[in-house]
Chain A
Amino acid sequence: MRLGVGAVLAALFLAVYAIPAWVSSPSNVGNIILSPLFWPYALAGFTGLTGFGLIYSGLRLDQSGAPLEEPSDEAGAAWVRLALMAVIMVLTMLLLPGLGMVLTSMLIFAATAFLVRTRHPMTALVCAVLVPLVLYAFFAHVAGVAIPQGEVLRLP
């Protein structure tokens, strides 16, 4: 039901705002079928129809019989961990250009391992150093990829 409502809202947003604002079409296109706008509008229309279908089937089905997720006895903590994971991802994007890929990877490896409450903290720290270095060695020296080095650490 919620999914259907979301699909209908997304279709409306696309049709009313997103496509007119963010899809440009040359003014001399005579036939709408060949216009760059046609395909996005058609897809938005089908998304809306699918949304209505989902709402209809949601109204028919008993929601109590289909839980959205596995029951968890620590739902609050789970959401906090997910939020922290989102922060780690944002920090990754911010740190990559300055710190370089190797150092950033070391930090996010350690942070993620402790976020999932690893029972092997020493192993996690050793792997946090070794895994990014091994991957750097492969991608930089075998695959020939220019891995960002950053301003702090310069590797051969």
Chain B
Amino acid sequence: MSFVDSLAAGLSLVGNIEAFLALFLGVAIGVIGGAIPGMSATMAVALTLPFTFAMQPITGILLLLGVYKGGIFGGSIPAILIKTPGTPASSATILDGYPMAEKGEAGRALGMALWASCTADVISNLSLILFAGWLASFALSFGPPEFFTLILFSLTIIAGVSGESLLRGALSALLGLLLATIGLDLVYGTNRFTFGDPNMMGGLNFIAVLIGLFAIPEILAMVRHPTAHVGKARSLGKNWVTFGEYRRSFKSIVRGSFIGVFLGSIPGIGAAPSAFLSYSEARRTSKNRENFGKGEIEGVAASEAGNNGVAGATLIPLLALGVPGDVITAIIIGAFMIHGLQPGPMMFILNVDIIYGLFIGLIVSSVFLFLIGSIAIRGFKYVADVPKRILIPAVLVLCIYGVFAVNNNIFDVGVMFVMGWIGFAMMRYRVPAAPFLIAFILGPLLEDNFRQSMLMSGSDPAILVRGPITWFFWAMTLLTIIAIARAGIRAVKAGPLLGQPPQG
């Protein structure tokens, strides 16, 4: 199928009012969800997921992608106005955004955040369109050993960079892999941790696990400390961003966008590190570097470009390899699976119309983000006024309906509650939840590819190093472990030891 044919097939799929309406609604939900302190883009995507069950696959996935993109930008609004990032990705935006708000220039900061976000979004989407197909055609030559090493590498990097240490991330990933073993064995069909309960034989429901891990702990945290997330919003001020300021920051925006694209295309790194790296690069190279941290508009532009540059790029490993790059794409892979679609290289052959439909939708989403973002900036005070202590019970009820709706099964609601307490315990012990969820999704794939490799080779482990692709992934895995372990050892050496007084 030629490029034009693929494009026409995609256009025929999304060229209807429902698809664009879903995308528009998704961006609006995302911006509002991201802007509410205490919610996050992840939670907004997770809570929207149950509403997509009854939709056409492309419409449902566009709705979720809209929420994702809107959520990442929405997080910058409370970051600037009340010094509370709506999503972790917006943490770097506080550094210059809030000082600008203190000076009465919140409107200017938010305007620049929006322009930088939209620019980065376009660059990220174009990168996705350019690279995903190329990577997918390359991945068509992957066999089970190559997929095993790829997934192992992805899990290693996700475990390494998600939390405060490799060990905590690894523990989280191992627990996710263990949870994924529940159900019938993939080869022999024997029971594994099913306790004879038919509800457990198909494994734990993915939606119940993810909503339990990402929404219920927030509810429990709110129950534990009901007056958290209370902040006073700054006024927007009279100044607005000018085209001259945008042009002055353009280099930082483009650089930040490419940093986002690069880091986003590596599974596991995510938007927050990208935003900080983009910010520090802008500060290093800017003529106004002494103003950074005191309310420099270029700082806001760089951090927002960094985090939004990730949004399209995280879909590169998702669509081309079937490997989710972060938690939100892990939720989106769930939407694909619910609709009977398996992201990966074969999707570029079997469902090329959906792929191109998504590409078209993503390009349009940047326009929607600009329109909705402009309105959301002015309407934030209404969002900030939503009483959190009413919102939290509503979220709880929505979680119950959403999880039940997947299989019409009350057992799944129980799984969600149990996972919620596990997620809450992980939050308290600073064990990151992202590696847990991604390992839970990739666990069956990892085991399946491992056992297929062993079956192919008659249990000879040499098959796992059979060619350059496996060598590359093993080398990357080892390099990742060494780099993260060295960073951890340096941090331990730099910190105070037991029995010694803290330095300084």
Contact = CB atoms under 8 A, between A and B. Distances in A.
A92 B413 contact: yes
B284 interface: no
B393 A145 contact: no
Given A60-B497, A82-B223, A139 B389 contact: no
Interface in A46-100: 46-47, 50-51, 53-54, 57, 59-65, 68-70, 72, 78, 81-82, 85-86, 89, 92-93, 96-97
B454 A36 contact: no
Interface residue tally on B, bucketed by range: 35 or more
Interface in B361-415: 387, 389-390, 392-394, 396-398, 400-401, 404-405, 408, 410, 413-414
Given A62-B497, A118-B390, A23 B192 contact: yes
A29 B451 CA distance: 13
A81 B223 contact: yes
Contact of B54 (A26, A118, A136, A143): A143
Interface string A7-45: 100000010001000111110010101101001100110
B459 A138 contact: no
Nearest to A124: B390
A91 B155 CA distance: 37
B306 to A, nearest CB: 28
Contact of B195 (A22, A26, A36, A128): A22
A43 B398 CA distance: 34
Interface stretch (B182-190, B235-243, B245-253): B182-190
A113 B390 contact: yes
Contact of A25 (B181, B188, B421, B450): B188
A93 B193 CA distance: 22
Contacts of B451: 33-34
Given A3-B431, A101-B401, A127 B394 contact: yes
Contacts of A2: 429
25 contacts: A2-B429, A3-B429, A22-B195, A23-B181, A33-B451, A36-B185, A39-B447, A40-B178, A40-B181, A40-B193, A47-B175, A54-B171, A64-B502, A65-B495, A85-B219, A105-B401, A110-B393, A113-B393, A135-B401, A136-B401, A138-B51, A139-B401, A139-B405, A145-B53, A148-B404
Interface of B: 50-51, 53-54, 165, 167-168, 170-171, 174-175, 177-178, 181, 185, 187-188, 190-195, 219-220, 222-226, 387, 389-390, 392-394, 396-398, 400-401, 404-405, 408, 410, 413-414, 417, 420-421, 428-431, 447, 450-451, 454-455, 459, 488, 492, 495-498, 500, 502
